Amino acid sequence: MTSPSANHSRKKSVSRRTLAIDVGGTGIKAIVLNATGKPLTERARVPTPPRATPKKVLAVIVQLASSLGAFDRVSLGFPGVVRDGKLLTAPNLGPGWAGFGLAAELERRLRCPVRVANDADVQGMGCVTGHGVELVITVGTGFGSSLFVDGYNAHLELGHHPFRKGHTYEDELGHAALKQKGAVKWNRHLVEAVKLLQVTFNCDRLFIGGGNTKFITTKLPANVRVVSNVDGLLGGIKLWEGKAGRLHQVA
């Protein structure tokens, strides 16, 4: 873990090392990246603790950080609504997240600058082209979503929007639905969702990420691409290239 004096000594962005963290419903992943997004360490993963409260998750993050060596700043993708480093929701984790200042608390514990954004937003920052209308969805414990227009990003909460027969996208495409209905029906509903979202957003490209992409067996439209979970970590570099506000731009 780097010290404040070491952080100040590395003023040029070309030398900065970013600890990229992805908090998921089943696993918390971390890796250290150089200024161009090249991994400097192996990706580390620790299971997300049951009833994942802030105290439990922070303990895992500090554990991961201490195991990966030196870094100058931190980017973190979180499965909930994030505003200015504070959390508004965390539907697939434990209690105590509403209003929690995650960025400030991590800065105190890790003693370096921290930026936090929704995990689907960060995933998108790692894979979109920055041209046209691009939609990112993630299928894991829940259902995440993010919209990019010419590289400008705005978070969406499509997971809780009505999808079919009075059920939401998360009801039909989250991990619980996959287990209950099986992969064949889940794939059929995924294709249905993709077609509906394409019409709704008239997107040039649609990217699908998340831990349950490994269960996708159906043929997808030509402008739909399944992306690696590593993009959810590599996007952490892009999170530092824009302003630390609600709207980010990806070059």
User: Residues 63-96: pLDDT tens digits?
Assistant: 999 999 999 999 999 999 999 889 999 988 999 9
User: At the top level of CATH, which class does the domain 128-226 belong to?
Assistant: alpha beta
Q: Do 4-118 and 128-226 agree at the fold level?
A: yes
DSSP-assigned states of every residue in 22-48: EE-SSEEEEEEE-TTS-BSSPPEEEEP
- pLDDT tens for each residue of 173-218: 999 999 999 999 999 999 999 999 999 999 999 999 999 999 999 9
| C-alpha to C-alpha distance for 183 and 176, rounded to whole angstroms | 11
| C-alpha to C-alpha distance for 148 and 134, rounded to whole angstroms | 5
Q: Do 158 and 169 touch, CB atoms closer than 8 A?
A: yes
Q: Which fold has domain 4-118?
A: Nucleotidyltransferase; domain 5 (3.30.420)
| Average pLDDT rounded to a whole number, residues 101-110 | 97
Helix (H) or strand (E) holding 170: helix 169-173
**What is the crossing angle of helices 102-110 and 54-67, to 10°?**
40
Proportion of the chain above pLDDT 70, given as a percent:
90
* Cα–chain center distance at 79: 7
CA contacts within 13 A on the Cβ side of 54: 16
Residue 162, classified by CB atoms within 10 Å of its CB into exposed (0-12), middle (13-18) or buried (19+), is: exposed
Predicted confidence (pLDDT) at residue 108 exceeds the cutoff of 60: yes
Predicted confidence (pLDDT) at residue 220 exceeds the cutoff of 90: yes
For residue 202, the tally of other CB atoms under 10 A from its CB is 10
Residue 36 has what pLDDT?
86
Q: Enumerate the domain spans of the chain.
A: 4-118, 128-226
Residue type (1 letter), 172: E
Q: What is the DSSP letter of 234?
A: H
Cα dihedral angle (197, 201, 203, 207), rounded to 10 degrees?
-40
Q: What is the value of pTM for the model shown? A: 0.87
DSSP-assigned states of every residue in 84-118: TTEES--TTS-SS-TT-BHHHHHHHHH-S-EEEEE
Residue 248 has what pLDDT?
58
- Tokens standing for residue 18: 């970013």
- pLDDT tens for each residue of 2-34: 544 444 444 445 578 999 999 998 999 999 999
Helix (H) or strand (E) holding 205: strand 205-209
- Tokens standing for residue 188: 């059929």
Residue 18 has what pLDDT?
96
